[in-house]
């Protein structure tokens, strides 16, 4: 059995400061860590798919390391548009999966699954792009693992959400990525963050899933002139599980963070 927990868009702030001056994102991530520690069976990897911090400040990365310290599972972090590559690299320089230079792409073997973490960030900007260097790295990894199960992880999801104020900052020029993905039959799924909501679609036969935030969830407003908004909906993470025989695709579970009434004596 292979189990990967995906957390995203945690927006850690310096000690004592609130996300958007309204929400205690640090406390909410601490509760997420507690929930992850209660998982049974335990995940072999906790993957955080970007927006680790809100402003990419050194003190935010220091706070993040402190908040991660109680986590009992192996973890890996990816950059989002609110992160700073250099400061992230400095803060996690002791982690073996982290590239020492350039874009922060990396691959990790988790049980029978190869996770390819693809850096979609553009320094100083909020939209996402995949440079020729990024696509070349991905193609090399896909070719080298053509006979194994692969998951592609990225911060910006490779599709248009339909929420106008989100799509301004989406992943641009996805055609080459889609063409590349279409040439490999062993990609189990693509997972992403960025949108602070759970969304599902497909690229060809490949499922594409986004992970909610551990802080606020972005409002589902589809009208063309919609104003940006967020809600304090229940925070959540994703749990991706492959069966013991490693046959077939994963089952991905949306897991809410919090204490809810129950268990009730029926199913």
- Whether residue 184 is contained in a domain is answered as yes
- Whether residue 263 is contained in a domain is answered as no
Query: What letter does residue 104 receive in the DSSP assignment?
Result: -
Q: Which domain holds residue 11?
A: 2-256
- Whether residue 241 is contained in a domain is answered as yes
Query: What letter does residue 23 receive in the DSSP assignment?
Result: B
Structure tokens at 174: 């996805």
- Whether residue 222 is contained in a domain is answered as yes
- Cβ proximity of 68 and 28 under 8 Å: no
What is this structure's pTM? 0.96
Closest CA to 46 of 94, 8, 13, 95: 8
Q: How far apart are CA 207 and CA 192, in angstroms?
A: 11
- Whether residue 191 is contained in a domain is answered as yes
| pLDDT score of 202 more than 90 | yes
- Whether residue 168 is contained in a domain is answered as yes
Q: How far apart are CA 133 and CA 241, in angstroms?
A: 31
Give residue-wise pLDDT tens across range 35-80: 999 999 999 999 999 999 999 999 999 999 999 999 999 999 999 9
- Whether residue 265 is contained in a domain is answered as no
- Cβ proximity of 119 and 141 under 8 Å: no
What is the CATH number for 208? 3.60.21.10
- Whether residue 177 is contained in a domain is answered as yes
Number of structural domains (the chain) is 1
The structure tokens 């260097």 sit at: 133
Percent of the chain's residues with pLDDT above 70: 99
Give residue-wise pLDDT tens across range 141-182: 999 999 999 999 999 999 999 999 999 999 999 999 999 999
pLDDT of residue 245: 59
**pLDDT band at residue 204, thresholds of 50, 70 and 90?**
very high
| pLDDT score of 243 more than 90 | no
What's the rounded mean pLDDT across residues 189-215?
A: 97
| pLDDT score of 95 more than 70 | yes
- Cβ proximity of 237 and 212 under 8 Å: yes
pLDDT of residue 249: 84
Q: CA-based Rg of the chain, rounded to a whole angstrom?
A: 18
Q: How far apart are CA 89 and CA 98, in angstroms?
A: 7
| pLDDT score of 246 more than 60 | no
pLDDT of residue 65: 98
Q: How far apart are CA 111 and CA 91, in angstroms?
A: 27
């Amino acid at each position: 059995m292979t189990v990967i927990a995906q957390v995203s868009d945690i927006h850690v702030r310096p000690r004592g400061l609130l996300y958007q001056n309204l929400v205690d994102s640090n406390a909410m991530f601490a509760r997420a860590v507690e929930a992850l520690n209660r998982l049974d069976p335990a995940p072999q990897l906790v993957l955080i798919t970007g927006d680790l911090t809100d402003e990419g400040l050194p003190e935010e990365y220091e706070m993040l390391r402190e908040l991660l310290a109680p986590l009992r599972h192996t973890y890996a972090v990816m950059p989002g548009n609110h992160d700073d590559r250099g400061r992230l690299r400095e803060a996690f320089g002791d982690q073996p999966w982290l590239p020492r230079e350039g874009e922060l792409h990396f691959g990790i073997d988790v049980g029978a699954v190869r996770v390819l973490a693809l850096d979609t960030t553009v320094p100083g900007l909020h939209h996402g792009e995949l440079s020729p260097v990024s696509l070349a790295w991905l193609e090399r990894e896909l070719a080298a693992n053509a006979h194994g199960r692969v998951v592609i992880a990225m911060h910006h999801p490779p599709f248009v959400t339909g929420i106008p104020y989100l799509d301004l900052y989406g992943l641009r020029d996805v055609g080459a990525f889609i063409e590349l993905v279409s040439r490999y039959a062993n990609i189990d799924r693509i997972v992403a963050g960025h949108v602070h909501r759970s969304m599902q679609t497909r690229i060809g036969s490949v499922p594409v899933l986004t992970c909610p935030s551990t802080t606020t969830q972005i409002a589902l407003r589809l009208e063309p002139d919609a104003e940006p908004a967020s809600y304090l909906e229940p925070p959540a993470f994703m749990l991706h599980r492959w069966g013991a025989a490693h046959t077939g695709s994963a089952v991905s579970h949306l897991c809410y963070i919090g204490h809810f009434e129950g268990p009730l004596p029926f199913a």
